[in-house]
Amino acid sequence: MIRPVVALCGLSLFIACPAGSAYADTGWSAPKCGAEPQAPPVKAGSVAQYNDSVDKVTAYEKAARVYNACVSGQANREETAISQDASARISHIHAGSAAVQQRIASSFQKLSTQLAVVGKKLGNH
């Protein structure tokens, strides 16, 4: 008896990054997640081979989902840390820039006031 394949290998896992895309091999990894499960070959030479393939594909799908969840979690944690670091660095730069702008505005106001006072003293409003 031939066993039906329940799901098509978790296609939803890879929708955002299709197999063979330029994003698939970026050099980043999540070593805490272990080795990525390898997709088994599908053999269809006989009913027994097919049934064995269904079992192996099902096992692969389960392992791939667990691995993908681990990788996704690790990536999220690393992305959050990078984002927080970048935010802190941007805040530091913004504070420095705002301080410069405030000093310059203050200098302009001080100079305008001084010129107005001197102009009145000299009678050249």
Q: What is the pLDDT of residues 113-122, one digit of tens each?
A: 999 999 999 9
Torsion of CA 30, 34, 36, 38, to 10 degrees: 170
In contact, 67 and 37? CB cutoff 8 Å = yes
Neighbours of 21 (CB within 10 A): 10
Residue 102 lies in a domain: yes
| 54: three-class secondary structure by DSSP | helix
Proportion of the chain above pLDDT 90, given as a percent = 75
d(CA 115, CA 124): 10
d(CA 34, CA 41): 21
pTM: 0.60
Q: What is the pLDDT of residues 75-117, one digit of tens each?
A: 999 999 999 999 999 999 999 999 999 999 999 999 999 999 9
Q: What is the pLDDT of residues 34-45, one digit of tens each?
A: 999 999 999 999
Neighbours of 79 (CB within 10 A): 10
Residue 68 lies in a domain: yes
- Residue 25 clears pLDDT 70, i.e. is over it: no
Residue 77 lies in a domain: yes
Q: What is the reported pLDDT for 123?
A: 86
Count of the separate structural domains present in the chain? 1
- Supply the range of the domain harboring residue 53: 11-122
Residue 74 lies in a domain: yes
Q: What is the mean pLDDT of residues 9-13?
A: 46
